[in-house]
Amino acid sequence: MSAFVLNVIGDGAAPELFAALGLGKAAILSPDRAFDLPVAQQDPAPLLAAARGFAEGLALDINLVATAGRKKKLLVADMDSTIINVECLDELADMAGLKPQIAAITERAMRGELEFEAALRARVGMLKGLSLSALERTYAERVRLNPGAKSLLATMRANGAHTMLVSGGFGYFTARVAEAAGFHVERGNTLIDDGRALTGEVGTPILGRAAKLEALEDAAANLKLDYAQTLAVGDGANDLAMIQRAGLGVAYHAKPVVAAAAGAAIDHNDLTALLYLQGYSDSEIVAP
């Protein structure tokens, strides 16, 4: 077995496109959608660049993946814009008529231009007085699981993986999303309220970049796993530390600072791509 594979995912993906690389016979994970090519080079980085060059302009996700321990035993996932389709705080802001102002701060924080904890406090402070009914409306009307989320969770759990939803967002949403998607456990921040409306304060300590990394480290230690057996996925700067520590760190439709630092990037496909990255074939994927 080769130490690495070139993993290609996308509609119409064809091994023939990469024939000039001379990598050998493809292992088909999903017909016309995902496959692996064996990589013998000890330094495969130039090969990855060449492969992405061949596919320039095509909606293909191309990554190098180590074959040892490829199917991970711990998944730690960000929530907003990763497992679900929206940034919950921005949608709460929309309920308050403040979405442009708050979303601009969110974008800068996710790009790593602002310190996460301070940016979170500033945004929550702007929501002081927002009725608690806005949380219910936001979840019911705006929050949807991203395509592939249920299959990702069901498949990894069926293969013995522990799954954690760890968000810099809020426990009101993480609890509901974790149940809907199928996570074992969840962690999120706490919005303070007076029983009727938000006070503009967030509970401490704030769960940010360091806390996400700590969640990964604690879970790996408790489960007696090497980091090589872990997968972390997210899209914003506060996900960087856990993504870089995990054996397979995935930037999912991520900000440039995250995509540049992650071991793998998914820019064109849904969350089932995380299963193909781990070598799962269609016959092994659990339907939602």
Among 36, 61, 78, 235, the one annotated catalytic: 78
- Mean pLDDT over all residues of the chain? 96
In 40-123, beta strands by DSSP E: 61-66, 74-77
What's at 145, amino acid-wise? L
255 secondary structure, DSSP code: -
- What are the DSSP calls for 116-167, one per residue? HHHHHHHHHHTTTT-BTHHHHHHHHHH--BPTTHHHHHHHHHHTT-EEEEEE
Q: What is the pLDDT of residue 148?
A: 98
Q: Where do the domains of the chain lie, and which CATH numbers do they carry?
A: 1-68 (3.30.70), 71-288 (3.40.50.1000)
How does strand 4-9 pair with strand 34-39?
antiparallel
Burial call 199-215: b when 16+ CB within 10 Å, e when fewer: ebebeeebbbbebbbeb
Element (H, E) at 257: helix 256-261
Q: How far apart are CA 170 and CA 115, in angstroms?
A: 18
Q: What is the pLDDT of residue 164?
A: 98
pLDDT in tens, 137-196: 999 999 999 999 999 999 999 999 999 999 999 999 999 999 999 999 999 999 999 999
Q: What is the pLDDT of residue 75?
A: 98
The model's confidence at residue 18, banded by pLDDT at 50, 70 and 90, is: very high
Give the sign of the dihedral formed by CA 74, CA 76, CA 82, CA 85: positive
Confidence check: pLDDT of 41 > 80: no
The model's confidence at residue 40, banded by pLDDT at 50, 70 and 90, is: confident
Among 36, 61, 80, 90, the one annotated catalytic: 80
Q: pLDDT > 90: what percent of the chain? A: 94
Active site residue 78: yes
Active site residue 94: no
